[in-house]
Amino acid sequence: MRRILVKGAGVAGLTVAHELAVRGASVTVAEVRGQIGGNASWLAGGMLAPWCERESAEETVITLGKNAADWWERTLPGLVSRAGTLVVAHARDAFELARFAARTRNCESVDEEAIAALEPDLAGRFRQGLFFASEAHLDPRRVLEALAGKLRAMGVVFLFEAGEVALSGFDQMIDCTGIARADDDLRGVRGEMLLLRTRDVSLARPVRLLHPRHPIYIVPRADHHFMVGSTMIESDHDGPITARSLMELLNAAYALHPAFGEAEIVETGVGVRPAYPDNLPLVKCWKDGTITVNGLYRHGFLLSPAMAEQAAGLLFNSSAGNSSAGLESENEADRQRRSA
Ligand SMILES: Cc1cc2nc3c(=O)[nH]c(=O)nc-3n(C[C@H](O)[C@H](O)[C@H](O)COP(=O)(O)OP(=O)(O)OC[C@H]3O[C@@H](n4cnc5c(N)ncnc54)[C@H](O)[C@@H]3O)c2cc1C
């Protein structure tokens, strides 16, 4: 039985651990934090929205992400909501909708009546929008905890507050440490978010509000909570949310529905998304035999299932794993895997 150490218990590490465990590996997950959470994955919106994301992402994000909702549903039944995504803009920003529609596909135009049918609380507020019916969302926190629970039940061992773990007891190490990984190609993209709570608005699905400067989305969660996200700042600084970002997110939520003005601010948070220069994720083999799964950027929940399958395939479908090939030649293989 292959003994594999997975470093990092974010969405990358946990999905990789799952794909290895179902293939019969003996898996240990080492995490520097004291428990699941507190990382970029914990702060995510949880949107599984490949068609919307195409607005600013490569086609690869659709190719790798279109089956993600099926993977999550199969892995953790009942935790995925398949209610689509609604995209709206105020009348003065109608050109933003046209631009968004031109850059995406797999959606239908919706008028005021159709918006009200989808989201009764938005009735009369928007004249037109776009509906991406095949998209889905999940609550990252519920999913990360449920996945860790499932992994424990499958025999995966968790080491929290882990320092350097001796590699001698393992056949392979897979590094899923996100922005902490020493990799010159990686950069951080800071994302600030809020968690609001109000009983005065109900939404059935993520709603994206387009705006030339401050596009935002609101993802409904259980118990009248709403995740409002998020900024995209080229920085790996994970200090507290700035006053400007807080104001912008709150203004945009208020513009979506004025009842958000009375909501409780339950939490503010900042996560740093790990990104490669092309904003696409990568399974990399390093000279020392380490495999890294990283660069999930703004698509951790959307793309980690496909990347975890790639990483597991690499270990189980070949005799690689202890590759001593140079990083340069391995990069070529990486590029091929990514475009496959
Ligand atoms: C505000 C915000 C909103 C987002 N919304 C979405 C969304 O709607 N949909 C979507 O798909 N994606 C979304 N994302 C992106 C997604 O969150 C990231 O792509 C994803 O979290 C990256 O996961 P990761 O596992 O690589 O990194 P992380 O979640 O950061 O996990 C890395 C883990 O490694 C641990 N670690 C670090 N060093 C070590 C070490 N030496 N040993 C052991 N452990 C270590 C860290 O403590 C951490 O737990 C969002 C991100 C942000 C910030």
What's the pLDDT tens digit per position in 236-270?
999 999 999 999 999 999 999 999 999 999 999 99
Mean pLDDT of all residues in 42-67 = 97
Give the tens place of pLDDT for each residue, 262-312: 999 999 999 999 999 999 999 999 999 999 999 999 999 999 999 999 999
Residue 148, Cα to own-chain centre: how many angstroms?
17
Q: How far does residue 112's CA lie from ligand 1's centre (Å)? A: 37
Nearest residue CA, atom 52 of ligand 1?
A: 44
Q: How many helices (H) and strands (E) does the chain have?
A: 10, 18
State the average pLDDT for the chain.
93
7 lines ligand 1 (CB under 6 A): yes
Tokens of 213: 């400067």
28 lines ligand 1 (CB under 6 A): no
Q: Max alpha carbon distance in the chain (Å)?
A: 64
Q: Please report which confidence band the pLDDT of residue 330 belongs to, taking 50, 70 and 90 as the band edges.
A: very low
Among 296, 297, 307, name the best residue to mutate to test ligand 1's pocket (greatest count of ligand atoms within 8 A of Cβ). 296
List C-alpha distances in Å: 300 to 64, 75, 279: 11, 16, 12
Task: Flag whether pLDDT at 336 surpasses 80.
Answer: no
pLDDT recorded at residue 47: 98
Contact 284, 294 (CB under 8 A): yes
Q: How far does residue 5's CA lie from ligand 1's centre (Å)? A: 18
273 lines ligand 1 (CB under 6 A): yes
Closest CA to 104 of 47, 49, 54, 50: 54
Give the tens place of pLDDT for each residue, 113-128: 999 999 999 999 999 9
